[in-house]
């Protein structure tokens, strides 16, 4: 009887993991990841560059634009 309960629990655990793995996220990540505020465009551009480029020095111009935006907006 105990072995049956253990096996049943293991099967349920695996089934839940498989179901959760294939389930789409319920939160809207586009809202969470969308920067807001006076430097939103600069933040977005720099973040996208940093995520796509292996060499972050390629994003230096965008980083400088973000720094300048922060200075201009007293941030």
| Model confidence pLDDT, tens digit, residues 41-72 | 999 999 999 999 989 899 999 999 999 999 99
Instruction: Confirm whether pTM is higher than 0.95.
Output: no
Give the pLDDT score at 32: 57
CB atoms within 10 A of CB 43: 18
Widest pairwise Cα distance in the chain: 71
* Confidence tier at 7 by pLDDT (50, 70, 90): very low
Question: What is the number of structural domains in the chain?
Answer: 1
Give CA–CA dist 4/47, Å, rounded. 51
Tell which residue, 31, 30, 41, has the closest CA to residue 70: 41
pLDDT higher than threshold 50 for residue 2: no
Domain containing residue 65: 2-72
- pLDDT tens for 9-38 read 544 544 555 455 555 555 555 555 677 899
């Amino acid at each position: 009887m105990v072995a049956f309960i253990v096996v049943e629990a293991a099967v349920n655990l695996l089934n839940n993991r498989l179901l959760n793995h294939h389930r789409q996220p319920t939160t809207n990540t586009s809202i969470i990841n969308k920067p807001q505020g006076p430097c939103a465009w600069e933040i977005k551009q720099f973040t996208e560059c940093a995520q796509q480029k292996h060499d972050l020095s390629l994003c230096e111009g965008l980083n400088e634009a973000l720094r300048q935006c922060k200075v201009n907006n007293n941030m």
